[in-house]
Chains A and B, each alone.
Chain A
Amino acid sequence: MSAANVISILSSKKARTMTQTSQTADDWADLLEAVARRQDTKAFEALFKHFGPLIKAFALSSGLHSQGDHLPEELVQDVMLAIWRKSASYDRRKAAPSTWIFTIARNQRIDMLRRLNKYRADVSADAIWDLESDTELFGEIRQSRIQDKVKSGLYDLPVDQRQVMAKVFLEDKSHQEVADEMKLPLGTVKSRVRLAMKKMKLSLEALDL
């Protein structure tokens, strides 16, 4: 490989890293605030372009399409509509943008599954997950520190632990369902998740009384 080639690969790699890091949590938070303050459709479109395809991936990994081909796109619409409407309640001191958006996607998925399965909606997902996080406890700096810790922690995990984490956290499966699918004992699935949380030095372990 010629030196020029190496440099062009390096610089394209660098360029890629730069475009990725140029969209930081702060930028997404700015965009959410622009939607809230000015109903800024350009800002909203940028959010849609980034998060729409992630919400669709989330819907597909949850198996929504098995209940109707149109449902993954419908979830994208429902979640983005909720983001538009709730943007005024977004507070960057309480949650990183992706965390806030994930919780909306989770709640919309739960409500959609309830509607599909005709469960009585006596209690909506928003009523259950209505918890306003305490600003003094979390705060903006702590939020981004947690996300950084999680990111590097996940990166260091062995493949089998990462796989279990993705299934348990995103795929709408209980520990038991993940265990059945992966043909692992239930205790193994639970302990892999707990081990992963421990490696990330998250406080869940403090609950092991």
Chain B
Amino acid sequence: MSQWHPQPDQLVEFAAGTCHTGMSVAISVHLHYCTQCRTALSELESTSAVLFEQQSAVPVTDSAFEQLMQRIQREPEVEPVVEPVNNRFPKALSTLLPASLDDLDWRQPMKNLRVSHLMTDESGMIIGLHHMKAGARVPNHYHRGEEISVVLEGGFSDQLGSYGAGDFILRTPDDTHSPQTDAHEDCLMLSVVAAPVKLTGALGWLLNPFLKA
């Protein structure tokens, strides 16, 4: 069971479908590990459904049902659902991945850290993977915007706690931290960042992996 969760209002926006794609993907991955949040989501969706049913209905055009049945006859075949080629992770993330993580375009800003940029969403959030070697320590840094990390494999700790698979960690611009990977296992994380991170120390340039040179 995961110990670190999205905030209630983030789950509300997820249930309503109003958060940006980066946040949605991060929450979706967390939900695969967390029964507690799945229960909360189910209740939020029930709440939405009750509000949905209590709306004042707006009549549809008279021919709408007929048109729909014609469309069903015209397009009887359901387009095949494209299943992700990668099944190692929850679906929301897997759809963004090639069969092997080695096929990703990895950059290595530090000896013990590899990062890969998967996509930039409609709000400018960057969705990526971070791979930290066992026992690695990332120098102290702060964030210009929000940073969300969801641990996929392994674990790490920083000044505020320690984290394992499924944990959802939100860092706001004011937080400074220096993550340290668990000693015996590499750590793979989903990362969603608003803006490239900036190191507080002299190694600043190293941790700007998403800033294309």
Contact = CB atoms under 8 A, between A and B. Distances in A.
14 contacts: A53-B59, A56-B59, A84-B72, A96-B49, A101-B52, A103-B45, A131-B38, A137-B35, A146-B43, A147-B46, A154-B51, A168-B12, A175-B9, A204-B11
Interface residues of A, number: 78
Given A53-B59, A133-B42, A207-B11, A173 B91 contact: no
Nearest to B56: A57
B35 A134 contact: yes
B32 to A, nearest CB: 8
Given A53-B58, A119-B122, 17 more contacts: A49-B65, A52-B64, A57-B55, A57-B57, A76-B64, A80-B68, A81-B72, A102-B45, A125-B17, A146-B43, A150-B50, A169-B47, A170-B52, A175-B9, A194-B8, A203-B36, A203-B39
Which of A107, A124, A151, A168 counts the most B-chain CB atoms under 10 A from its CB? A168
Contacts of A119: 21, 121-122
Contacts of A207: 5, 7-8, 11, 36-37, 40
A200 B44 CA distance: 11
B68 A73 contact: no
B40 A138 contact: no
A203 B118 CA distance: 34
Interface of B: 5, 7-9, 11-13, 15-19, 21, 24-25, 28, 31-32, 35-61, 64-65, 67-69, 71-72, 78, 84, 91-92, 95-96, 118-119, 121-122
Interface in A27-63: 41, 45, 48-49, 52-54, 56-58, 60-61
Interface in A158-193: 165-166, 168-170, 172-175, 177, 190, 193
Contacts of A202: 40, 43-44, 47
B52 A58 contact: yes
B55 A73 contact: no
Given A53-B58, A56-B58, A206-B36, A102 B52 contact: yes
Contacts of B64: 48, 52, 73, 76-77
B55 A77 contact: no
Nearest to B83: A127
Which of B31, B40, B43 counts the most A-chain CB atoms under 10 A from its CB? B43
A170 B45 CA distance: 11
A194 B43 CA distance: 13
Q: Secondary structure of the A side of the interface?
A: helix
Contact of A102 (B31, B48, B58, B119): B48
Nearest to A132: B38
A82 to B, nearest CB: 10
A35 to B, nearest CB: 11
A175 B13 contact: yes
B57 A197 contact: no
Contacts of B65: 45, 48-49, 52
B145 to A, nearest CB: 15
Nearest to B84: A127
Nearest to A187: B9
A129 B72 CA distance: 25
Contacts of A54: 52-53, 55, 57
A174 B53 contact: no
Nearest to A76: B60
Contacts of B36: 203, 206-207
A92 interface: no
The 4 closest A-B pairs by CB, nearest first: A53-B57, A99-B49, A102-B49, A57-B55
Given A81-B72, A98-B50, A99-B49, A172 B42 contact: no
